[in-house]
Chains A and B, each alone.
Chain A
Amino acid sequence: MTGRGAAGRATAGRREGASQSRTGWRDRYNAWLMHHRLSAADSMNRVLDNPVSSAMTWLVIGIALALPTGLNVALDNVSQLSASWDSPAQISLFLQDGISEDRARQLREEVAAREDVAQTLFVSRDEALEEFRALSGFADVLASLEHNPLPHLILVSPVGSSPQSAAVALRAELAGYPDVAQAVLDMEWLQRLNSLMELSRRLVLAVGGLLVVGVVLILGNTIRLAIESRRDEIVIVKLVGGSNAFVRRPFLYTGLWYGVGGGLFAALLVAASLWLLRQPISELATLYQSEFRLRGLGVMGGLNLIILGGLLGLAGSWLAVARHLVEIQPR
């Protein structure tokens, strides 16, 4: 009798031990993980249950994200194109007055022998005057001059692959030659292009920033409506002991799915527009004898866009949840 009683107590004790271990961190972690899985699946089902309105949300987010992304891709392509124009920068060497044509030709040989020089072209003062007379329309004025005011000129092209800074250094060195009066690096238009590009980049950044804020607000509003439509449910969950984190979770996942879907739509939109442009651009490039090929978003770019969408979705839903979930209390 006493033996059975002791055995009964032992089993009771064990059962109690088992039920106590349920509150251990491992079990709590498992429960937390499971609720995450349930919330993710449940939110996904809710999003997919309303395909039309969900697709609308995705499309709105997709367009808002595709706009700055598309502009950025376009800028990347332009800068890729202009990078190939960087090297044909030309240095014009105006020689000192009174240097003989022979000495000038000799200097041209010297410069052409340099390793960082790809090509040189000698324009004698007579040729220059002839050209100027033909092109400028000042033939009469020029004829009235007593002597040719133009110096000998050597046009120097730096080695093709050299960066701009090398061209600048080369110009400085060539300017140091005693026979050279002036060395001019003709890069102004490139600098203009570059600053124009920088300006566009900033504009894209500003527009992108505004649209990102817009996406967060759109998602915040969508989630607010979702919260509103499930108000009764939230009250009940809170009444039976659901924590704020528990109530929050499905809405955060809803935001995440909207954001990820929006990012996916954006990537598809950008890819589709590039696909549309590819044919005419390659035709254009062929006409200009260019090897230029339109560069797309790439797999990583697409993934980044989807991740960005997901993060914005989380941010938007967090915004809505923080503002509205605390307000909903059992009454």
Chain B
Amino acid sequence: MISFDRVSKRFAQGHDALREVSVDIGKDELVFITGHSGAGKTTLLRMIMLMERPSRGQVTIDGQNLAAIGPRGIPRHRRNIGVVFQNHRLLMDRTVFDNVALPLIIAGYDQREVGRRVRAALDKVGLLKRERAMPVTLSGGEQQRVGIARAVVGKPKIILADEPTGNLDPALSAEIMQLFEEFNQVGVTVLIASHDLALISRLRHRIITLREGRLVAGSKA
């Protein structure tokens, strides 16, 4: 589903974020990416999102070489990927419902379908009763779950999460990880960047370890 072939990324300042990274992630996998901050976890995710382009090498998603996608194709590409951010990135002046509905409005679903899908996604993350709330009135864990609902509402084939439990306590973190496992069980490829080794080593999934831009463990399933 996701394939990196000898991918390197050198930034303008001469800093190498990724060096010769090759990895294949299958369709039904849930994979953790770990490493110290600055090891290249985020750069890896950003390349899948086409927020970054590799300096060398190729990234292939679902059989599509990302190098072939021009600037105009980026929005369509992103609609097939659900993303969860560490700092949630919610629209603070919109309700929970509107936040979750955003990807569907962008994709052009009709209103009834939007309502149905948003409620299903909110139900899945346990926030159905808060659909009219504003994000500021929610706790950090709840905001993160709104972010997850937004990531899954469009039924993407891939979910990316960058430090989704970064600011949460262990119990909430475990809950969030369990949500990701549930999505994975229905056939979604899930890729989670996290440095919470204690949590992720308990979860028995493949762990890719990056160190200074190099892949040091987990290249094979």
Among B75, B83, B103, B111, max chain A CB count under 10 A is at: B75
Whether the Cβ atoms of B107 and A34 lie closer than 8 Å is no
Whether the Cβ atoms of A241 and B108 lie closer than 8 Å is no
Number of interface residues of B (CB under 8 A): 23
In the assembled complex, A209 has its CB within 8 A of some CB on chain B: no
Return chain B residues, CB-CB under 8 Å to A32: 108
Return chain B residues, CB-CB under 8 Å to A330: 49, 51
Distance between A37 CB and nearest chain B CB, rounded to angstroms: 11
Distance between B164 CB and nearest chain A CB, rounded to angstroms: 15
Whether the Cβ atoms of A241 and B106 lie closer than 8 Å is yes
In the assembled complex, A238 has its CB within 8 A of some CB on chain B: yes
In the assembled complex, B102 has its CB within 8 A of some CB on chain A: yes
Contact with B along A230-253 (1 / 0, CB 8 A): 001101111111111010000000
Contact with A along B64-95 (1 / 0, CB 8 A): 00000000100111110001000001110100
Distance between B17 CB and nearest chain A CB, rounded to angstroms: 14
Whether the Cβ atoms of B79 and A35 lie closer than 8 Å is no
Whether the Cβ atoms of B75 and A243 lie closer than 8 Å is yes
Whether the Cβ atoms of A238 and B75 lie closer than 8 Å is yes
Nearest A-chain residue to B89, judged by Cβ: A236
Whether the Cβ atoms of A34 and B110 lie closer than 8 Å is yes
Whether the Cβ atoms of A34 and B106 lie closer than 8 Å is no
Return chain B residues, CB-CB under 8 Å to A38: 105
Nearest A-chain residue to B80, judged by Cβ: A241
In the assembled complex, B11 has its CB within 8 A of some CB on chain A: no
Nearest B-chain residue to A233, judged by Cβ: B91
Return chain B residues, CB-CB under 8 Å to A237: 102, 106
Whether the Cβ atoms of A241 and B79 lie closer than 8 Å is yes
Whether the Cβ atoms of A31 and B108 lie closer than 8 Å is yes
Give residues of chain A (1-58) contacting chain B, Cβ–Cβ below 8 Å: 22, 27-28, 30-32, 34-35, 38
CB < 8 Å neighbour of A239 from B72, B78, B107: B78
Interchain CA distance A241-B81 in the complex, whole Å: 9
Distance between B110 CB and nearest chain A CB, rounded to angstroms: 7
Distance between A279 CB and nearest chain B CB, rounded to angstroms: 50
Whether the Cβ atoms of B76 and A35 lie closer than 8 Å is no
Interchain CA distance A22-B109 in the complex, whole Å: 8
Return chain B residues, CB-CB under 8 Å to A34: 108, 110-111
Return chain A residues, CB-CB under 8 Å to B145: none
Decide if the interface of chain B is mainly helix, strand, loop or mixed.
Answer: helix
Whether the Cβ atoms of B109 and A31 lie closer than 8 Å is yes
Return chain A residues, CB-CB under 8 Å to B103: 240-241
Interchain CA distance A254-B76 in the complex, whole Å: 26
Whether the Cβ atoms of B109 and A242 lie closer than 8 Å is no
Nearest B-chain residue to A31, judged by Cβ: B108
Among B89, B93, B109, max chain A CB count under 10 A is at: B89
Return chain A residues, CB-CB under 8 Å to B9: none
Whether the Cβ atoms of A239 and B89 lie closer than 8 Å is yes
Whether A239 contacts B110 in the complex (CB less than 8 A), given A35-B105, A38-B105, A233-B91, comes out as: no
Interchain CA distance A35-B114 in the complex, whole Å: 13
Return chain A residues, CB-CB under 8 Å to B90: 236
Interchain CA distance A31-B107 in the complex, whole Å: 8
Return chain A residues, CB-CB under 8 Å to B49: 239, 330
CB < 8 Å neighbour of A240 from B78, B108, B109: B78
Whether A242 contacts B91 in the complex (CB less than 8 A), given A34-B111, A330-B51, comes out as: no
Distance between B188 CB and nearest chain A CB, rounded to angstroms: 16
Distance between A17 CB and nearest chain B CB, rounded to angstroms: 16
Interchain CA distance A38-B83 in the complex, whole Å: 25
Whether the Cβ atoms of B75 and A242 lie closer than 8 Å is yes
Nearest A-chain residue to B114, judged by Cβ: A34
- 5 shortest interchain CB distances as A-B pairs: A31-B108, A241-B79, A241-B78, A243-B75, A240-B103
Can you name 16 A-B pairs with beta carbons within 8 Å? A22-B109, A27-B108, A30-B110, A233-B91, A236-B91, A239-B78, A239-B83, A240-B102, A240-B106, A241-B77, A241-B107, A242-B75, A244-B75, A246-B106, A330-B49, A331-B51
